[in-house]
């Protein structure tokens, strides 16, 4: 199975991306989490991106990029763009509640697609990366199907509990 990289612009993004790390581990997907800055460590960022396929991220792979600030997010996404899928995780900040990061992520130039999840929605980014990887991995696809079935059963159980409570009203 190919790996998923989670690249943060700052270690302060860790609380936001932790749900993605946990979700990927739960699914058995190897995850590499790094702090890289296109501004402060451009050589390392370029090297990581240039060697992603060689280092096991492969033909189909999920890539989560998180950063707090509008420009940093756009530049970090720009540094990792290649032919491999990128999933942007816009992060909320003290100003504009993450809408600036959301707009920076979705406004990539033509020919440079970036998938984008909701603000601070790292778990959804992990699940989207898993779905991309599952296209060529029957075992991972089975795990995702089972997870969805479990979610549906949880909703059914909540409905049963609600119906019981409603009888008392």
Selected residue with higher pLDDT from 2 and 150: 150
User: Do the Cβ atoms of 73 and 9 come closer than 8 Å?
Assistant: yes
Q: What's the rounded mean pLDDT across residues 140-145?
A: 97
Residue 61 pLDDT more than 60?
no
Pick the closest to residue 50 from 77, 81, 76 (CA basis): 81
Confidence at residue 62, expressed as pLDDT on a 0 to 100 scale: 42
**pLDDT recorded at residue 45:** 80
Question: Once rounded to an integer, what is the mean pLDDT over residues 14-18?
Answer: 90
- Looking at residue 38, what DSSP letter applies? T
61 φ/ψ angles, rounded to the nearest 5 degrees: -155, 155
Q: Report which of 28, 116, 31, 21 is spatially closest to residue 77, judged by C-alpha positions.
A: 116
Distance in angstroms (rounded) separating the CA atoms of residues 168 and 27? 40
Q: Is pLDDT at 102 greater than 90 in this prediction?
A: no
Please give the structure tokens belonging to residue 9. 């612009």
């Amino acid at each position: 199975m190919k790996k998923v990289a989670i690249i943060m612009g700052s270690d302060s993004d860790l609380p936001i991306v932790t749900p993605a790390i946990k979700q990927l581990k739960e699914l058995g997907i190897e995850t590499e989490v790094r702090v890289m800055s296109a501004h402060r460590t451009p050589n390392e960022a370029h090297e990581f991106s240039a060697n992603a396929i060689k280092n096991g991220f492969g033909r189909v792979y999920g890539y989560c990029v998180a950063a707090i600030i509008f420009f940093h997010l756009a530049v970090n996404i720009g540094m990792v763009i290649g032919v491999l899928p990128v999933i942007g995780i816009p992060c909320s900040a003290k100003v504009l509640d993450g809408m600036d990061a959301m707009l920076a992520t979705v406004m990539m130039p033509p020919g440079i697609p970036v998938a984008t999840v909701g603000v601070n929605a790292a778990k959804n980014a992990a699940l989207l990366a898993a779905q991309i990887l599952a296209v060529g991995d029957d075992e991972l696809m089975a795990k995702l199907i089972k997870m969805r079935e479990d979610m549906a059963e949880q909703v059914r159980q909540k409905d049963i509990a609600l119906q019981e409570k409603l009888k008392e009203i």
